[in-house]
Structure 1
């Protein structure tokens, strides 16, 4: 079998993800929000608080990467940390009012990019596309338990 970008699910998925990320980064930067903050904002937008370990697991990143992200977010006034009442060695991370004030903007930007990307698909094709992506992700996550959300 000849290697071809046009027939490689991994290549095409990666390329689409990079294009999504570029557009997201461009639009978020105009609003003063770092795209690296997105996994934390998504996880905590409901006002909840989670440990760094749980945030790293949900974002499928290594602990040191999450630690750096949280340090930058704290510096920028986007998160607070408080002692975890259950595990005194851990801290619970929550979004600040400043960050929570950006959630609506983030939701609007993400929605606009998703709409743009999927505008050539009818509603049934959109549902099918999302269903197929979830199935592909489930198969690949089963290979690596560290990546499961």
Structure 2
């Protein structure tokens, strides 16, 4: 089977740039950056985590995680706590302020997502999601 080799370069990368730009614009009035939203959303779905776990789950560098966590803590959306089982480790959790902003942030991100997939049927979305998940797995 012959395929054009432009799936990533002409479709995925431009789509990711556009989606990131639109999500950033939607989150800006809330004072959140997309990376901060990703962390808050992860913590909201999965609960308290160590910084290294956040980095792995979001597939980002530890230094990027540290910088984003610092900004997010500065803004009052997360709290760092010493792990009761290991005083050398910290866990990150949503603060009450973080839980409140996450609700609003998920709403504005959903609006962008709805706009992005407008006109696509559920079968197309399911197939596209499966292909992108497969591609991510293949590249890891």
Structure 2-normalised TM-score? 0.89
Q: How does 1:5-44 map to 2 (within 5 A)?
A: 8-11=6-9, 12-44=11-43
- Provide structure 2 residue ranges, at least 5 long, that are not aligned to the other structure: none
Is the Cα contact below 8 Å between 1:50 and 1:94 reproduced in 2?
Answer: yes
1:13-92 superposed matches below 5 A: 13-46=12-45, 48-92=47-91
C-alpha distance in 1 between matches for 2:47 and 2:66: 18
Matched with 2:100 is: 101
Q: Give 1:47 shift.
A: 7.0
TM-score by length of 1: 0.84
Q: Deviation at 1:135?
A: 1.4
State the distance in 2 between where 1:102 and 1:108 align. Answer: 10
Would you say how many aligned residue pairs link Structure 1 and Structure 2?
136
Superposed structure 1 runs of 4+ greater than 3 Å apart? none
Distance in 2 of aligned mates of 1:137 and 1:36: 19
C-alpha distance in 1, partners of 2:131/2:80?
Answer: 38
How far did 1:32 drift? Answer: 2.0
